Amino acid sequence: MADLSTQVVEVVGAKTAALLKSEFEIELVEDLLRHYPRRYEQRGALTDLGNLEIGDHVTVQAQVKSFKNLKNAKGGTRQEVVISDGSGSLTLMFFNQHWREKDLVAGRQGLFAGQVSVFNNKRQLTHPEYELLDDAADVNPDDYAEAFLPVYPATKKLQTWTIERSIDLALTALGKVEDPLPADIRKTEGLIDLDVALHAIHKPTSLEQLEASRLRLKWDEALALQVVLAKQRNEEDSWPAISRTEKPDGLLAAFDARLPFTLTQGQSEVAKTISAEMAAGHPMHRLLQGEVGSGKTVVAVRAMLTVVDSGGQAALLAPTEVLAAQHYRAITNLLGPLAERGKLGAHDEGTGVTLLTGSMTTAARRQALLDITSGQAGIVIGTHALLEDRVDFFDLGLVVIDEQHRFGVEQRATLVGKAGSDRRPHVLVMTATPIPRTVAMTAFGALDISTLSELPAGRSPITSHVVLSAEKPSHLARVWERIVEEVRAGHQAYVVVPRIASQEDKDLKPGQRQAIALEDLAPQLIEGPLAGVRVGIMHGQMPGPDKDEVMQRFANGPAHKDGIDVLISTTVIEVGVDVANATTMVIMDADRFGISQLHQLRGRVGRGSAPGLCLLVTEAPAFSPARERLAAVASTNDGFELAALDLEQRREGDVLGRNQSGMRSSLKLVSILRDESILEQARIAAVDIVNKDPDLDSNPALARAVQSLIDQARAEFVKKS
C-alpha cells in the first residue's frame, strides 16, 4: 500500500524512479500522480498529422502505410516509413535498421514519438520511439478498452507510455488518500474527492468524468496558492506601520491649491482610499493600475505629500534613468516653490525633492545621500541606485514603485526593508500594463487593487494605422512627410526602432530579416526626409546625462532655441515619458514588439489637447500572426482588451515581466486568465481558512500542499538569483 507521500521508487523500481527524478523532479507518489496528461488521444480516432509544428516533441497515433528499405550513397541503408492518420502523413526515418520491417508492417496502428523535423519539404520523425497498439504482448487489454489514451509531458529519455505505466502502478498501489480540500468546500462547489479525481484524470472513461476531475484538481492548485497569499498577507498586516495623515493647511493642501487641473473622479476615489489606508496603523499594499496617461503620478505625489505632512519621507522607484529624471522634473514642476525648502522665498510648508541615480557625479550623490539620511529630502526619486546598502532613510513612510512589472519581488522587499527592522512603510505600486485582477493577485502577491479607468478630460483619442512599407513604399514616404507637417504645425514626433545597431548576418536565424537599426535609419532620415527639422537621438547605451540632455531638449519643445522636434529612439521611451506636445509616433518594424509594449509606446502621444497618431510600420507578410496582432492594436485603444489578447498569445510570464512570483509555475491546470472565478472563490475560502486556523493544524494535507508550494517558489527564486 502506498499513499501520496510514498517515494516513487517503492512503486516503480529504481531505474524508472531515477528517470522520473532527472526528467521531471518527480520523487513522491503525489508528484507522479500530479503529472497530468497534456492531452488525450481517443482510441480509434486518429491524430491530426496536418497540424504538427516543426521542432515539437510529439506523440501521435497513426497507421503504417508503407515501408521502404533504401540504399544510401555511402553504403549504408535508410528506412523510410510513411504513417498516416487519414488526413495527413508523416515520414519516419531510420538509418541502418532494416530489421524494423518486421515491426512496421503496413496496416498496423501505433503510437509514435519524436521531434518533428523537415527533410525534402516533408515532415518527419527521425529514429522515433514507438509502441504498436495491436501488439498483444505490449498492451494491456484493459487499457485498450479505455475511451481516452493519456499523452503525458514526456522527454526523449522518458516516453509517455513509460510514464503511463508508472502511473498505473501508483494508482493500483494507492491506499487511502487524505483530501486537502475541506469537505464543506467540496460540498458547496460540487467537487469530487481527491482519490476519484486522481484516477479519473489519468484514466477517464467519459468527457464528463474528465471535466469533473480537472475542476476538482484545479481547486487544489487554486486553494493552495490562495492560502499562501492569504498567509503572506496576514504576515504583512501584522507589521506595525506609522499612521500617516495630512496636516491641515500643510503641504498637501498647498499642493492641491496650486494644481492646474481638477482630479478626475477616479483619481479622487483612489486618493480617498489611499489616505484612509495610510492613516491606519498597519501598512498599505496597494496596486494602482491605469491606462497610460490616466494620471497615476499625481495620485502618487499626493500620497507622498501626505507622508511628508506627517513628518516622514517617501521614495519613488523608477525602472530607468530617463523615467526617474522625468518624474523628478514633473514633480518639481508640480510642486513649484513647495519643492524648494531651504531656498530663499520658499514656501513655509515646502520640502526637499532629491534625485538619486547611478550615473550621478560622486559629489552630487554624496549630497543626495546626505539629504536622504538627514530627512532634508521629503521626496526621494531614483532608480535601482535607491536599493543600495548605503541609502539610509531618516524616516521612510511610503514606497512608491512605478512600472511594477519591471521589478522583482525581492527588489520591492529591499526598498521596503529600509523603513527599519521594527516596522513597514506603506507601499503603493503602479503599473500601466492593465491586467486582470486574478493575474495581478497571483503575480504580484497580496495587493489590493485600484484601477483608473478614465483618462483626464480633454484628451483626444489616438488613431493608429498599420503602414505596409514593403508592399506600399510610397506610404512610408508619406509617413515622413506627415512628420514634417506635424512639426510645421508646432508639434513633435517620435520614431521608435527595435535595435541600436544592425545584427551580424551570422546572428540571424535562417529566413530572418535584419531589424531596422537606429544607427542606419537615423542618418538616412536626417540627410533625407527629415533634413528640415531638428532631430535628436536616444538609446539605452548612451550615458545617463546624455539621455537626460536629449530628453530635456525634447521636453523643451520647438519654441526653445535648442529644442528637438523629432526624437528617434529605441524603446527607452517606452514607459511613462510625458511630452504633451508630441502628437505622432512612428514605430518601425512594429511586428517585433509585443501587444502591450506597442500600446505603452503609443501612449506617449496624444497626451495633450491635439489628437495623437500612431503609425505601425511593418514588413510582416499578410495573414501572418504578426500582422493580425498589429491590426488588433490599431483597432482598439482599450488596454484591458489588448492585455487579454496579449496573454492569450504569449505565455503569461512574458507579459508580466520577470520573476514576479515563483508560484505561478506551480499552476498546471489553472489558467490565471481563464479560471478567474475559481481563483476568486478559492481566495474567499482561503482567507476564511487562514483566519480560523492560521497554521492549518486541522488540515495536514492542505498544510503539506501549501508547504510544497512555498518550497517550490523558494527553489525557483534560488535558481533565478
Q: How far is the CB of 295 from ligand ADP (least distance, A)?
A: 3
Of the candidate spans 14-22, 62-70, 551-559, 571-579, the one that interacts with Mg ion by CB under 5 A turns out to be: 571-579
Q: With respect to ligand ADP, which residue has the nearer C-beta, 133 or 580? A: 580
Q: How far is the CB of 341 from ligand ADP (least distance, A)?
A: 22
Q: With respect to Mg ion, which residue has the nearer C-beta, 397 or 576? A: 576
Contact map string, positions 521 to 560, toward Mg ion, x by CB under 5 A: ----------------------------------------
236 binds, among ligand ADP, Mg ion, none (CB under 5 to 8 A by kind): none
Of 365, 318, 325, 329, residue with least CA distance to 546: 325
Whether residue 717 contacts residue 659, with contact meaning beta carbons closer than 8 Å, is answered with yes
591 binds, among Mg ion, ligand ADP, none (CB under 5 to 8 A by kind): none
Of the candidate spans 180-188, 194-202, 491-499, 570-578, the one that interacts with Mg ion by CB under 5 A turns out to be: 570-578
Q: With respect to ligand ADP, which residue has the nearer C-beta, 402 or 589? A: 402
Q: What is the DSSP pairing of strand 396-401 with strand 426-431?
A: parallel
Q: How far is the CB of 286 from ligand ADP (least distance, A)?
A: 15
Which position's Cβ is nearest ligand ADP? 295
Q: With respect to Mg ion, which residue has the nearer C-beta, 288 or 598? A: 288
456 binds, among ligand ADP, Mg ion, none (CB under 5 to 8 A by kind): ligand ADP
Q: With respect to Mg ion, which residue has the nearer C-beta, 67 or 255? A: 255
290 binds, among ligand ADP, Mg ion, none (CB under 5 to 8 A by kind): ligand ADP
61 binds, among Mg ion, ligand ADP, none (CB under 5 to 8 A by kind): none
Cell matching residue 98? 532494416
Q: How far is the CB of 252 from Mg ion (least distance, A)?
A: 20
Q: With respect to ligand ADP, which residue has the nearer C-beta, 90 or 447? A: 447
Q: What is the DSSP pairing of strand 109-119 with strand 57-71?
A: antiparallel
Q: Is 672 helix (H, G, I), strand (E, B) or coil?
A: coil
Q: Which amino acid is at 518?
A: L
Q: What is d(CA 597, CA 385) in angstroms, rounded to the nearest whole number?
A: 25
Q: How many contiguous H segments (helices) and E segments (strands) does the chain have?
A: 24, 21
Q: What is d(CA 95, CA 107) in angstroms, rounded to the nearest whole number?
A: 22
Contact map string, positions 573 to 612, toward Mg ion, x by CB under 5 A: ---x------------------------------------
Cell matching residue 124? 518527419
Three-state secondary structure string covering 479-496: HHHHHHHHHHCCCEEEEE
Q: How far is the CB of 274 from ligand ADP (least distance, A)?
A: 15
Of 361, 366, 402, 362, residue with least CA distance to 384: 402
Contact map string, positions 278 to 297, toward Mg ion, x by CB under 5 A: --------------------
Q: With respect to Mg ion, which residue has the nearer C-beta, 283 or 576? A: 576
Q: What is d(CA 196, CA 209) in angstroms, rounded to the nearest whole number?
A: 10
Q: How far is the CB of 654 from Mg ion (least distance, A)?
A: 22
Of 261, 251, 429, 283, residue with least CA distance to 353: 251
Q: With respect to Mg ion, which residue has the nearer C-beta, 166 or 431? A: 431
Q: With respect to ligand ADP, which residue has the nearer C-beta, 578 or 589? A: 578
Q: With respect to ligand ADP, which residue has the nearer C-beta, 296 or 602? A: 296
Whether residue 263 contacts residue 270, with contact meaning beta carbons closer than 8 Å, is answered with no
Three-state secondary structure string covering 428-464: EEEECCCCCHHHHHHHHCCCEEEEECCCCCCCCCEEE
- Where does this chain bind ligand ADP (CB under 6 A)? 261, 263-264, 267, 290, 292-298, 432, 456, 576, 578, 580, 607
414 binds, among Mg ion, ligand ADP, none (CB under 5 to 8 A by kind): none
Whether residue 434 contacts residue 655, with contact meaning beta carbons closer than 8 Å, is answered with no
Residues whose CB is less than 8 angstroms from the CB of residue 616 and which lie 6 or more positions away in sequence, other chains included = 464, 465, 466, 467, 587, 590, 598, 630, 633, 634
Radius of gyration of the chain (CA): 30
Q: What is the DSSP pairing of strand 57-71 with strand 77-84?
A: antiparallel
Cell matching residue 657? 515581466
- By rule CB under 5 A, what count of residues binds Mg ion? 1
Residues in the site for Mg ion, rule: CB under 5 A? 576
